[in-house]
Structure 1
Amino acid sequence: MNSLFRTLLLSLLVGLPLAANAELPALDIEYSVSKDGFNLGSNQRTLRKTGDNEYTARAVTKAEGFAALFVSDTVKETSRFRFVDGHIQPLHYRYHKNGKKPETFEVDYDRQAQLLRHSLLDETPPLQKNDQDLMTFQFAMMLDLQQSIRKLEYRIADKKRIEDYTLIPRGEKTFDTAMGKLHTVVMEYYDQKRNRTYTFWCARELDYLPYQTRRLDSDGDTIELKLRRYNGKSL
């Protein structure tokens, strides 16, 4: 279970709501985290403007309830990025896990040198227009969906690699929530190398924020995040 919780954020790539305008709002969101229907903990996220066209997104994932008896690690993410002309430009991403086996890595998107620098990798490839980190990926996806783009392609740097991702539409689904009905577009990515399927249910009423995210492994195990609080409102 420690290994599962340690890699949770890297596996699911969850994000925050995005508005396609000149400025992004301050946000405070929380997801429940579960494995095969068993509650593991929470993923809390905030977004704040920190400068001219610059923003900082933070995420904290921690165990709760029964799972907290076995998992003491806390995972923290920080992403700095620009929002310019309707486009997300990542600047710096940091991942840190405390506990018995702490882990840290950082990704720097050097806009001056036009290079991607990863603290755990030797390669420093040139930046690409579709580069995103593990948090800004979601912002870019939501913006593209708002613009009716349905085949989404990004290059994302995670802990071990820099890899291309392509998401395709898989229909629509409606959820009944305490905030009313949420009409979602279902987006899917199949990881052929690891035989995993990632599914995102992106709600139109929340600027295509994923209401639910699921990873399905080849052995049938599922890891799921589900929105339970949105700017102080419970779902």
Structure 2
Amino acid sequence: MSLLRFSLLSLLLALPGWVSAQLPALDIEYSVSRNNLNLGGTHRKLLQTGSDEYVMRAKTKAEGFAAIFVSDIVRETSHFRLVDGQIQPLHYRYHKNGKDPETFEVDYDRQAQVLRHSLLDKTLTLQDNDQDLISFQFAMMLDLQQSVRKLEYRIADKKRIENYSLIPRGEKVFDTNIGKLHTVVMEYYDQKRNRTYTFWCAKELDYLPYQTRRLDSDGDTIELKLRRYNGKSL
């Protein structure tokens, strides 16, 4: 189901408060839709586990009519640390239950300086721009706060470890229940799969993605839109 696959791509969530030495607790929900049809939602929560270490837990499931056909639940966990203003992923885990369960993990061994993927028969040397499917958006927010507008990350997903380059595509203003959100539009074009990923990052929320979209070559779209932010409905 596209809802669950899109969660894997993790085009969601990021986190305010980068200028602080510590990151605040965060509780956020996004709606997930395909071709303007609501499929479900994803809930993400951030907790601090040490002086500079954090864990983000995400849960994605179908809602409403879609829940009749899809009972699977996707859970993701990203452990990372904030060091000198930089996000360093430590461990990522993806698990989908149901008839066709899927699980994979990515370990970022800082001591050995290697990246290990549970499904890929390879071990790679760590790079400064390595991120997991959740932490890369943290890194994106931090870079945008520092006025970096061309973003380069190496991201590990279920099947591959690839380089991603995001470039600015202007700005857009959204009217919400918490006021106007002025967003910077960032875009990545996946040439191999002929897909375009777009992020609308809100300045008022420290460049938290207010909305994200995947556009496929056949015109199929999958979108996430922020609906709750720390208890506030948008």
For 2:123 and 2:12, locate their aligned partners in 1 and report how far apart those are by CA, in whole Å: 25
With 11-20 and 196-205 compared, the bigger mean Cα shift is at: 11-20
Match of residue 185 from structure 1: 184
1:219 partner SS: coil
Match of residue 70 from structure 1: 69
- TM-score, length of structure 2 as denominator length: 0.98
C-alpha deviation, 1:17, in angstroms? 1.6
C-alpha deviation, 1:12, in angstroms? 4.3
For 1:11 and 1:158, locate their aligned partners in 2 and report how far apart those are by CA, in whole Å: 7
Q: How does 1:70-219 map to 2 (within 5 A)?
A: 70-219=69-218
The one-letter amino acid paired with 2:106 is V
Alpha carbons 1:42, 1:64 under 8 Å: kept: yes
1:7 partner SS: helix
The one-letter amino acid paired with 2:207 is Y
For 1:90 and 1:105, locate their aligned partners in 2 and report how far apart those are by CA, in whole Å: 16
2:123 partner SS: coil
For 1:158 and 1:91, locate their aligned partners in 2 and report how far apart those are by CA, in whole Å: 15
The one-letter amino acid paired with 2:156 is A
The one-letter amino acid paired with 2:15 is P
User: Does the alignment pair 1:17 with 2:43?
Assistant: no
For 1:127 and 1:18, locate their aligned partners in 2 and report how far apart those are by CA, in whole Å: 26
C-alpha deviation, 1:222, in angstroms? 0.3
Alpha carbons 1:16, 1:29 under 8 Å: kept: no
Greater than 4 Å deviation, 4+ residue runs: none
With 11-20 and 130-139 compared, the bigger mean Cα shift is at: 11-20
For 1:64 and 1:227, locate their aligned partners in 2 and report how far apart those are by CA, in whole Å: 16
Give the % identical residues.
77
Could you tell me which runs of 5 or more consecutive residues in structure 2 were left unpaired when the two chains were aligned.
none
In the alignment of these two chains, the number of paired residues is 233
C-alpha deviation, 1:14, in angstroms? 1.4
- TM-score, length of structure 1 as denominator length: 0.98
2:193 partner SS: coil
Q: Deviations over 1:101-124 (max 9, x none)?
A: 000000000001000000001110
The one-letter amino acid paired with 1:40 is L
Match of residue 54 from structure 2: 55
For 1:147 and 1:195, locate their aligned partners in 2 and report how far apart those are by CA, in whole Å: 30
The one-letter amino acid paired with 2:86 is H
Alpha carbons 1:61, 1:74 under 8 Å: kept: yes
C-alpha deviation, 1:158, in angstroms? 0.3
C-alpha deviation, 1:9, in angstroms? 1.4
C-alpha deviation, 1:18, in angstroms? 3.1
For 1:55 and 1:166, locate their aligned partners in 2 and report how far apart those are by CA, in whole Å: 25
Match of residue 7 from structure 1: 5
For 1:206 and 1:169, locate their aligned partners in 2 and report how far apart those are by CA, in whole Å: 18
2:100 partner SS: coil
For 1:40 and 1:218, locate their aligned partners in 2 and report how far apart those are by CA, in whole Å: 21
For 2:4 and 2:142, locate their aligned partners in 1 and report how far apart those are by CA, in whole Å: 29
